[in-house]
């Protein structure tokens, strides 16, 4: 069945519940997991160019530190369950695209990710990242609520 499961995470409680479900499934199937985090690029503003330049390195350092912490958390959870794991992060303005790309690059045959639901007018217009992964990927997606 599934042998290599992608676990996108943003460090939130809901995302970690999906991670736990993915790890549990991997343990039952004898599969491995690949943790993945997408970092949003630093938001640039032409109006505050000096402020942006001064804070971009700080933002990037903090975002990478958070990503590494999220991935380490997934790795620890997988290790505790006896599931082989690996992971990485990527900077991308379109998280769904990075997730679909990671699934292809890592040859994952399943993605287990959280559903953040439809919140507000923006979600109605843009759709959730999970929904975009389902529409744009060619790998099955297990949505955890």
Tens digit of each residue's pLDDT (9 = 90 or more) over 43-75: 755 455 555 555 888 889 999 999 999 999 999
pLDDT of residue 115: 87
The token duo for 90 is: 């990527």
| pLDDT attached to residue 142 | 97
Q: Are 69 and 17 spatial neighbours (Cβ–Cβ below 8 Å)?
A: no
What is the model's pLDDT at position 123?
47
- pLDDT, residue 55, reads 80
Domain 4-119+129-143's class?
Answer: alpha beta
| The model scores a pTM over 0.85 | yes
Residues of the chain with pLDDT under 70: 44-54, 117-127
pLDDT at 4: 98
Containing 142, the helix (H) or strand (E) segment is: strand 141-144
Residue identified by tokens 């287990």 is 112
Predicted confidence at residue 107, as pLDDT, reads 98
- Domain spans in the chain, listed from the N-terminal domain onward: 4-119+129-143
Which residues are CB-contacts of 142 (< 8 A; sequence separation ≥ 6)?
21, 22, 25, 110, 111, 112, 113
SS3 string, 40-102, reads: CCCCCCHHHHHHHHHHHHHHHHHHHHHHHHHHHHHHHHHHHCCCCEEEEEEECCCHHHHHHHH
Both structure tokens of 96: 């769904």
């Amino acid at each position: 069945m599934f042998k290599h499961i992608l676990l996108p995470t943003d460090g939130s409680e809901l995302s970690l519940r999906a991670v736990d479900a993915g790890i549990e499934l991997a343990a039952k199937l004898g599969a491995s997991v690949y943790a993945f985090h997408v970092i949003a690029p630093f938001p640039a503003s032409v109006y505050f160019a000096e402020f942006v330049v001064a804070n971009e390195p700080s933002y990037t350092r903090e975002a990478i530190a958070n990503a590494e912490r999220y991935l380490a958390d997934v790795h620890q959870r997988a290790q505790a369950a006896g599931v082989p794991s690996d992971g990485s992060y990527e900077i991308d303005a379109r998280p769904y695209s990075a997730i679909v790309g990671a699934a292809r690059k890592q040859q994952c045959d399943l993605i287990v990710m959280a559903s953040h639901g439809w919140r507000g007018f923006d979600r109605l217009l843009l759709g959730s990242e999970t929904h975009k992964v389902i529409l744009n990927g060619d790998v099955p997606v297990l949505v955890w609520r």
